[in-house]
Amino acid sequence: MKKEKILIANRGEIAIRIMMACEDLGCDYIVVYTHEDRESLHVRRAREKGPGKRTYRIASYKDPNEIFAVADQAGATAIHPGYGFFSENFRFARRATMRTRPITFIGPRWEVIRDLGSKINTKKVAKSLGIPVIPGSDSPIYSEIEAEALAEELFLQQREQGIRAPSVLVKASAGGGGMGIEEVQHLDTFRRVYRRIQNYAKRQFGDEGVLIEQCLRDYQHIEVQLLCDRHGTVTHFGTRNCTIQSTGRQKRVEVAPGFDPEVWDYSFDSLRVLKDITGHSVNLAREVGYDSAGTWEWVVTRDGRPYLLEVNTRIQVENEISACISRIRGREDTPVNLIREQIRTALGEKLGFTQKDIYFEGTSIELRIVAEDVKRGFAPWCGTITRFEFPQRPWARLYSHVPADKPYNIPTEYDPNLALAIIWGKDTGEAVERAGEFLLGSNIEGHNAKGEPVITNLAYLYDRLDDVLRF
Amino acid sequence: MTDTLHKHIADSGQFLSQLASRITYLIDIIGDGSWFDLEKLLEEVQQVRNAIFDLPEKELFKRMLMLEDRISILEDRAAREITPARMVNIVRSVQRFTLQDILENVYDSFTELGGEEDCNIDPAIVVARATISRRVKKRIHKHQVMVIGHEKGMGEEYRNGGCAKPWGNDKALRYMKVAETEGIPIHFLIFTPGSYPIEDFPGAAQQIARNIYAMCKLEVPTVSFISEGGSGGAEAIGLADFRLMASHGYYSVISPEGAAAIEGKIREGGKVPRELVEKCARQLKMTARDNLGLGTIDRIVHEPPLGARKDDYDFFRRLRFEMIRATDEVVLRTKSFRTFRAYALKKQIAKDYGSSDTFDVHIPWRLSEKETERLLENRSRKYRSMGQGYTELKKESLIDLHKLRDKTRETITRTYYEIKYGLLKPHKKNVQKVLEEVTGEGAAFLAKITEPVKAAVDFLSGPDGEQRLLSDENQHTSIFSREWEQYVSPLANEDRTVTCPNAAKYGCMDLWVPDLYGEFCGVCPTCGHHFPLEYQWYLQNLFDRGSVKEFNRHIVSGNPLKFEGLDARLNRDMQRTGRRSGIITFKASVLGVKIVVAMLYSNFRSGTVGSAEGEKFLRACDLARTRRRPFLAYIHTTGGIRIQEGTLGVIQMPRCTMAVREYVDSGGLYIVVYDNNSYAGPVASFLGCSPYQVGIRSSRIGFAGPRVIRETTGQDVPPDYHSARNALRRGHIQGIWDRRDFRKNLHDALMTMGGPNLYYK
Amino acid sequence: MDINLNDLLRHYRSNPYEEHEIRAPHTGVVKFRAEEGQQTFGPSGKWLHKPGTLLFLLERENNPKRITASFNGEVAGIRHELEGCFVEAGTLLLTIRHRLSKEEIIDRILTEVLSIFPAPQRARYYLPPETASQMDKKAEPSIFLKPGDDAIIMSLMKRDTMLKYEGTPGIIYKVYFHSGDMVERDAPLLGICPPDNLKYVQKVIQRIKNEWEE
């Protein structure tokens, strides 16, 4: 693997974690950065690694042409996209594979990214495998009569389930990211909303297809971490609970495993549910020939019904809490690193273990430390960080691109994420306790242009620890 | 005594100034003052003029006579050496007669309508209600006519040299309708170097198209007279039942200078060599005699050897005679056969204008309903057959067979569809006519004709003559051919990126070519800019798979005027494209709806229209009519009329518009879609007349390109002057389609505009 | 309120030049097309549709891009050692010594005369759509701002914030940025002129016009 040179097409803590994984594997790497990020640790770390040029300044992380041009110039053999940016962009992966000088895309085959990137398509395949999906249309609807009939049925079903305030969601099929979605609480108002969304979709996306599904409100957000290789091995690394989110649906505290009946009483058999959804996820992965790390996102309602939401064909921010509670028999002395495994599989290596080699131990919590004002709708804060200190504990790991040895200006072009903390405890109680201890020991200082002190979400994170794994 | 002397001297002054103007006229014609020292001669005349009071009378007269002798000799010489380029000079000379002279001398009285010199919506177009009178055996008969023409207004700047603005042509159209309402003939007098190429509403091209479309079926006799016939500008008031032309006039697709600039690839503002202009003038076949030979005009009105000037009263008398005679002929052809023959006999006697301008009979110019019908039939036939003999077919020996087969087939098909749609019952007579027509074609097909329906069915089911399109095209492989089953542009086969022209404005990132020309259909995903795609893409993506069936492949672009260098260029394009003309005509279906399509495409002589293209378009239009199918003109690109075919190209404008008009009148749905670049003649006729014109995004539509506009109007136009958006803003087109929605939009248009039968009626 | 116009003019007259650093807009292989000391011209033509002088080609992913000058000036400091080399985004390639035009002198002096609304952060800024459309319609400055009015949209960390105007009430006399531009902190965004000061501002402009020779 010495000959491999991996281009890290991302920034912040993920770039640093990918670098560490590369070092672990003995691969060389290069990083790209923008003018804004010149002070970021991901650049400094690469620069200080040793002889040879490892950093390239580019115009934008979002311009694929910059990435490929640098890859060729530096002689990179593979590209790790991290999360966000190009991680789920099948065109980028396709170009990497099909260009005159092919470059390995560290992620699933591009066809898989494309097919699972379409929620409708995913839903269709899932349905055919008997995997539960949110009741509703599994293809865009163009006819009002058809739409109304479906809406009526959805309302009826919810009433039969005893749901007191049933409602349905009307979505633009071509939309995404919360755009063009409206909730309908009475069948009478359905037609009006339907037409509004249809017009919006036509105007905005040039396609008037509309999706209709049951609106779920009271649920937990559960994920299944999968890891597969290019030789047909499919494994999972358990579940995570990502229900604690900001108002803008940004995850803030994640926990592995997904439920803990030792701590909380659930109104359903939580272990059974987790077992079911991992089973379903593995089935779907086999069906589509999944060949990398990926996350299957589920919602579980209060009565214990799971529904598959979507598949994220990338490594996720919170991957490490799954790694943290996982052990591979016979390799207990090397901590599991999913990013490392993801790179290995992309380069064509076999996993070298199967599901029965994997077992779990303890609970792990991820804390996303962000400069934001939770009292003002999680508004991002920008300014200069002058002090950046965290407790050093054997059970805690911290990842950050923020240099602790000199003042750091938060770039205004990107999210004000400061750091990720990964906490482990032998059980949920210990993990929560240690997370609290860690937060209390953290010290971030700084000021903005007006001289006002830094605002972070440390206190918010501490408050939310009470909700960990609680339904 | 002194009085007479002064008078003599005054006369001498006048005589000398006449001599001077004769010399300047010669300089105008030759275009060169050094020709036999004309300029020096002029100086001499001026010297004599200045010395008029100093010279002894005898000496003065002697010198005057000597000068006149020399001038006469030079005039004779010039008359013998008139070249096409010099004819153009004659027409442009300030001494040439203008419309005003004709109104004053050919017509008895006239009232100008909608204009008083510069107080006029467009002083370049003059419209007048006039009377013209004929003497028959000492009795004078007056005819009412509408005169519509260009006023070059020599020296009057505001007349714009007879270049009609779009609204000037609109004015012309309005008064054509007035004449139609009043039932009086129209005399069109054409004195234009071309239309003023601006896009302001109603738009140069669009208005000319509207005029031609209207003139196709104007229900009154029309006669046109061409002194200066500059392409589209001339056609705007040129489609007439009878076309006269001044013997020293020109009628051309383009000015010789314009042609020379194109042929010589002269850069803007560069000097065009005079020899090249001369050569182009010769090659363009623009003289009256050339045009008569080509059949693009009907008769020549003779002028004096050096062309008629403002005071050639004899010429005006002759012109009056010819205008009346031409109108008579048009009228008489609508009468029953016997009367016409009687006239023809009389014509033998009054064969040509001699010394007398009297007529033997008086012929009223008002037509009955039946006669109007015949007038329109005659007009249709006249234009449909105009220049047809110059269309080349693929194999010489097959010409007749093809013609015969095509015509018979067409007749049979028409009969089949007429029966199918129950149109025949009320028109029993038509059956008769059809049978007559076919009988005339040849006995070989007689058996089939006795059973027209059966024959038509046989013909329809047989694959005879229909070829799968693209079967002979080069196959190419694409890196996506496995993934996308549909056609992918060969442009996608390169590992490189391109920059969107709007990158600076919208921040579009460079596009990877395989993405752009594959999945994105050549459209920038950020700003929607459309990169050009080859016409094959449309053939494959617009129509249902395998539904495209090309016809009339045997009609081939030729070089009817033997224009130097054209053969080689045609050959090169044929080699390159594997096609033989700039148009592809085919049957196809769009989401199951069967349509007929004519497609002008860029790779063959820039999609210019010549005889072959016109013929194919006309036949496609007729096929759509007989089969009762919607007709789509998809313009991948057209650069206008193919200038190397001269007026044979120009007449494709009225010809094809005639076919379109008859198709639409019969209830057809005609949709025009412009892509890339669509300019000039075709837009100003058979395309611009469509009620449904749509532009593909990022396309440019207009009359003349920016360079021509700069050169003719002296004004620069903004870079987006011809953009589809501006065309829509000006009301020239009815909508803009995204290429990616082309198929769906076309289907929607067919369903909503076409009604249940996909045909209006 | 009064400024010392003579001093300012003298200052600009003594050095009417600005050095503009021309950097690689993105990565790629650079090939210079301009020469040391060459005169450059910005976009020209009635609609500025003719691109300026070609400075260099920047080829990335087989796409040689023509980078042209956006203003008049003189080429200096070409980094010839980079000829034919791959450069990173933002690499300094050459400088253009640009002589300030009359309009630019007016703009610069006006920052001393007008009350300036500066950028509170390094961020992207946009004019509110209503303001922008009003500006398009009227040639003369006419939009009146008083404290508390919506002045400018600041796009920061993917979020748009409407900035309220603070400062002397007046008319937006000058907009110092293009919508969507990244503006450095404290750089001027708007130049505001109180109505009773308009005459004075116009007088200043007139004087510069008269006294500045190009």
Q: What percent of chain A has pLDDT over 70?
A: 99
Q: Select from A352, A318, A313, A296 the least CA-distant residue to A105.
A: A313
Residues from chain A contacting residue C86 (CB–CB below 8 Å): 69, 73
| Distance in angstroms (rounded) separating the CA atoms of residues C141 and C117 | 16
Please name the residue of chain B whose CA is at the shortest distance from the CA of residue A205: B525
| Distance in angstroms (rounded) separating the CA atoms of residues A456 and B133 | 101
Record: contact A412-C90, CB cut-off 8 A: no
pLDDT on residue A139 = 85
DSSP string, A159-210: HHTT-SS--EEEEETT--TTTTEEEE-SGGGHHHHHHHHHHHHHHHHS---E
Q: Give phi and psi for C74, each to the nearest 5.
A: -130, 135
pLDDT on residue B454 = 33
Neighbours of A274 (CB within 10 A): 22
- Whether the per-residue pLDDT at B553 is higher than 70: the answer is yes
The answer, for C28 touching chain A at a CB cutoff of 8 Å, is yes
Alpha-carbon distance A416 to nearest alpha carbon in chain C (angstroms): 7
pLDDT on residue B441 = 37
Q: What DSSP state is assigned to residue A216? A: P
Does C51 map to a domain? Answer: yes
pLDDT on residue B466 = 40
pLDDT on residue B54 = 86
Q: Where are the domains of chain A?
A: 5-106, 135-214, 219-361, 365-467
Record: contact A58-C26, CB cut-off 8 A: yes
Record: contact B510-A63, CB cut-off 8 A: yes
Looking at the predicted complex, does its ipTM rise above 0.90?
A: yes
Residues from chain A contacting residue B519 (CB–CB below 8 Å): 91
The answer, for A416 touching chain C at a CB cutoff of 8 Å, is yes
Query: Within this chain, do residues C49 and C109 fall inside the same structural domain, yes or no?
Result: no
pLDDT on residue B427 = 45
The answer, for C190 touching chain A at a CB cutoff of 8 Å, is no
Minimum mean pLDDT range among A97-111, B423-437, B483-497, B716-730: B423-437
**Which amino acid, one-letter code, is at A245?**
Q
Contact in structure between A245 and A461 (CB atoms under 8 Å): no
DSSP string, B431-477: HHHHHHHHHHH-GGGHHHHHSHHHHHHHHHHS-TT-EETTTTSPP--
- Whether the per-residue pLDDT at B476 is higher than 50: the answer is no
Provide the token pair at B286: 């623009």
Helix axis angle, A338-346 to A12-25, nearest 10°? 70
Residues from chain C contacting residue B495 (CB–CB below 8 Å): 61-62
Would you place residue B361 in the very low, low, confident or very high pLDDT band (cuts 50, 70, 90)? confident
- Whether the per-residue pLDDT at B437 is higher than 60: the answer is no
Write down which residue in C80, C99, C118 finishes a domain.
C99
Q: Which site among A101, A412, A414, A418 would you substitute to test the C interface, given the most C Cβ atoms closer than 10 Å to its Cβ?
A: A412
Does C3 map to a domain? Answer: no
3-state secondary structure of C201: helix
Contact in structure between B693 and B687 (CB atoms under 8 Å): yes
Q: Which residue is listed with tokens 């049979």?
A: B412
**Which amino acid, one-letter code, is at B102?**
I
- Whether the per-residue pLDDT at B406 is higher than 70: the answer is no
| Distance in angstroms (rounded) separating the CA atoms of residues A60 and A73 | 17
The answer, for A156 touching chain C at a CB cutoff of 8 Å, is no
- Whether the per-residue pLDDT at B430 is higher than 70: the answer is no
Query: Within this chain, do residues C43 and C108 fall inside the same structural domain, yes or no?
Result: no
Which helix (H) or strand (E) segment is B634 a member of? strand B631-638
Q: Select from B252, B175, B251, B169 the least CA-distant residue to B209.
A: B169
Please name the residue of chain B whose CA is at the shortest distance from the CA of residue C47: B718
- Counting the structural domains of chain C, the total is 2
Fold of the domain spanning A365-467: D-amino Acid Aminotransferase; Chain A, domain 1 (3.30.470)
- Which active-site residues of A does the annotation give? 314
Q: What is the pLDDT of residues A241-267, one digit of tens each?
A: 999 999 878 999 999 999 999 999 999
C92-99 and A104-105 beta bridge pairing: unpaired
Please state the CATH superfamily assignment of the domain spanning residues A219-361 in this structure: ATP-grasp fold, B domain (3.30.470.20)
Q: What is the pLDDT of residues A20-40, one digit of tens each?
A: 999 999 999 999 999 999 999
Record: contact C27-A66, CB cut-off 8 A: yes
Would you place residue B470 in the very low, low, confident or very high pLDDT band (cuts 50, 70, 90)? very low
Query: Within this chain, do residues C119 and C198 fall inside the same structural domain, yes or no?
Result: yes
Please state the CATH superfamily assignment of the domain spanning residues B97-359 in this structure: 2-enoyl-CoA Hydratase; Chain A, domain 1 (3.90.226.10)
Q: Which site among C46, C59, C124, C182 would you substitute to test the B interface, given the most B Cβ atoms closer than 10 Å to its Cβ?
A: C46
Alpha-carbon distance B725 to nearest alpha carbon in chain A (angstroms): 18
Same topology for domains A219-361 and A365-467, yes or no?
yes
Question: Distances in Å between the alpha carbon of A76 and those of A27, A67, A73, A315, C188?
Answer: 11, 10, 8, 20, 43
Does C10 map to a domain? Answer: no
Please name the residue of chain C whose CA is at the shortest distance from the CA of residue A383: C121
Q: Please tell me which of the candidates A69, A379, A380 has its beta carbon nearest to residue C27.
A: A69
The whole-number average pLDDT for the span B114-122 is: 91
Q: What is the pLDDT of residues C133-178, one digit of tens each?
A: 888 777 777 888 888 888 899 888 777 888 899 888 999 988 999 8
Alpha-carbon distance B498 to nearest alpha carbon in chain C (angstroms): 6
Could you say which architecture CATH assigns to the domain A5-106? Answer: 3-Layer(aba) Sandwich (3.40)
pLDDT on residue B463 = 37
The answer, for C121 touching chain A at a CB cutoff of 8 Å, is yes
pLDDT on residue C141 = 78
Q: Select from C142, C152, C144, C143 the least CA-distant residue to C117.
A: C152
Record: contact B512-A100, CB cut-off 8 A: no
Would you place residue A194 in the very low, low, confident or very high pLDDT band (cuts 50, 70, 90)? very high
Q: What is the pLDDT of residues A76-112, one digit of tens each?
A: 999 999 999 999 999 999 999 999 999 999 999 999 9
- Whether the per-residue pLDDT at B469 is higher than 80: the answer is no
Residues from chain A contacting residue B741 (CB–CB below 8 Å): 206
SS percent in chain C: helix, strand, coil, step 5: 25, 40, 40
Please name the residue of chain C whose CA is at the shortest distance from the CA of residue A411: C157
Record: contact B512-C61, CB cut-off 8 A: yes
The answer, for A1 touching chain C at a CB cutoff of 8 Å, is no
Decide which of B632 and B339 is more confident.
Answer: B632
Q: Please tell me which of the candidates C45, C46, C63 has its beta carbon nearest to residue B496.
A: C63
Q: Which site among B481, B488, B498, B515 would you substitute to test the A interface, given the most A Cβ atoms closer than 10 Å to its Cβ?
A: B515
Record: contact B510-C62, CB cut-off 8 A: no
The whole-number average pLDDT for the span B722-726 is: 97
pLDDT on residue A339 = 98
| Distance in angstroms (rounded) separating the CA atoms of residues A393 and B756 | 79
Q: Please tell me which of the candidates C46, C60, C63 has its beta carbon nearest to residue B716.
A: C46
SS percent in chain B: helix, strand, coil, step 5: 50, 15, 35
Q: What is the pLDDT of residues C88-114, one digit of tens each?
A: 999 999 999 999 988 888 888 888 888
Q: Please tell me which of the candidates B498, B507, B716 has its beta carbon nearest to residue C63.
A: B498
Residues from chain C contacting residue A383 (CB–CB below 8 Å): none
Record: contact C62-B499, CB cut-off 8 A: no
Average pLDDT score, chain C: 89
pLDDT on residue C182 = 87
Q: Please tell me which of the candidates A66, A68, A412 has its beta carbon nearest to residue C121.
A: A412
| Distance in angstroms (rounded) separating the CA atoms of residues B737 and B729 | 14
Highest mean pLDDT among B472-481, C11-20, C62-71: C62-71
Contact in structure between A29 and A347 (CB atoms under 8 Å): no
| Distance in angstroms (rounded) separating the CA atoms of residues A107 and A88 | 8
pLDDT on residue B187 = 98
Alpha-carbon distance B151 to nearest alpha carbon in chain C (angstroms): 33
Query: Within this chain, do residues C179 and C155 fall inside the same structural domain, yes or no?
Result: yes
Query: Within this chain, do residues C116 and C94 fall inside the same structural domain, yes or no?
Result: no
The answer, for C65 touching chain B at a CB cutoff of 8 Å, is yes
Average pLDDT score, chain A: 94
pLDDT on residue B687 = 98
pLDDT on residue B482 = 39
Which chains does chain B touch, 3 or more C-beta pairs < 8 A?
A: A, C
Q: Which residues is C153 bridged to in the sheet? A: C126, C162
pLDDT on residue B428 = 44
Q: Give phi and psi for B211, each to the nearest 5.
A: -65, -50
Record: contact A59-C121, CB cut-off 8 A: no
Q: Please tell me which of the candidates A56, A69, A449 has its beta carbon nearest to residue C61.
A: A69
If one looks up domain B553-754 in CATH, what number appears? 3.90.226.10
Q: What is the pLDDT of residues B690-713, one digit of tens each?
A: 999 999 999 999 999 999 999 888
pLDDT on residue B346 = 66
Record: contact B512-A64, CB cut-off 8 A: yes
Q: Select from B160, B155, B212, B162 the least CA-distant residue to B190.
A: B162
Residues from chain B contacting residue C61 (CB–CB below 8 Å): 495-497, 510, 512
Record: contact A65-B509, CB cut-off 8 A: yes
Query: Within this chain, do residues C81 and C54 fall inside the same structural domain, yes or no?
Result: yes
Would you place residue A42 in the very low, low, confident or very high pLDDT band (cuts 50, 70, 90)? very high
Q: For chains A and B, count residue pairs whose Cβ atoms are closer than 8 Å.
A: 23
pLDDT on residue B386 = 95
Q: What DSSP state is assigned to residue C117? A: E
Query: Within this chain, do residues C128 and C50 fall inside the same structural domain, yes or no?
Result: no
pLDDT on residue B399 = 46
Would you place residue B440 in the very low, low, confident or very high pLDDT band (cuts 50, 70, 90)? very low
Write down which residue in C99, C114, C131 finishes a domain.
C99
Q: Select from B237, B216, B159, B208 the least CA-distant residue to B703.
A: B208
Residues from chain A contacting residue B499 (CB–CB below 8 Å): none
Q: Provide the residue count of chain A.
A: 471
Contact in structure between B61 and B116 (CB atoms under 8 Å): no
Domain assignment of residue C109, given as a range: 102-211
- Whether the per-residue pLDDT at B477 is higher than 60: the answer is no
pLDDT on residue C167 = 84
Query: Within this chain, do residues C167 and C75 fall inside the same structural domain, yes or no?
Result: no
Record: contact B509-A62, CB cut-off 8 A: yes
The answer, for C50 touching chain A at a CB cutoff of 8 Å, is no
Q: Please tell me which of the candidates A59, A65, A449 has its beta carbon nearest to residue C61.
A: A65
Does C87 map to a domain? Answer: yes
Q: Please tell me which of the candidates B495, B510, B738 has its beta carbon nearest to residue A99.
A: B495
Does C200 map to a domain? Answer: yes
B692-696 and B735-737 beta bridge pairing: parallel
Would you place residue B396 in the very low, low, confident or very high pLDDT band (cuts 50, 70, 90)? very low
Q: What DSSP state is assigned to residue B723? A: B
Q: What is the pLDDT of residues B365-383, one digit of tens each?
A: 999 999 999 999 999 999 9
Q: What is the pLDDT of residues B147-186, one digit of tens each?
A: 999 999 878 889 999 999 999 999 999 999 999 999 999 9
What is the Rg, in whole angstroms, of the alpha carbon atoms belonging to chain A? 23
Does C95 map to a domain? Answer: yes
Average pLDDT score, chain B: 86
What CATH number is given to the structural domain containing C73?
Answer: 2.40.50.100
If one looks up domain A135-214 in CATH, what number appears? 3.30.1490.20
Query: Within this chain, do residues C84 and C110 fall inside the same structural domain, yes or no?
Result: no
Strands ordered across the beta sheet of A219-228: A306-312, A293-301, A219-228, A234-245, A251-256, A363-370, A417-425, A396-400
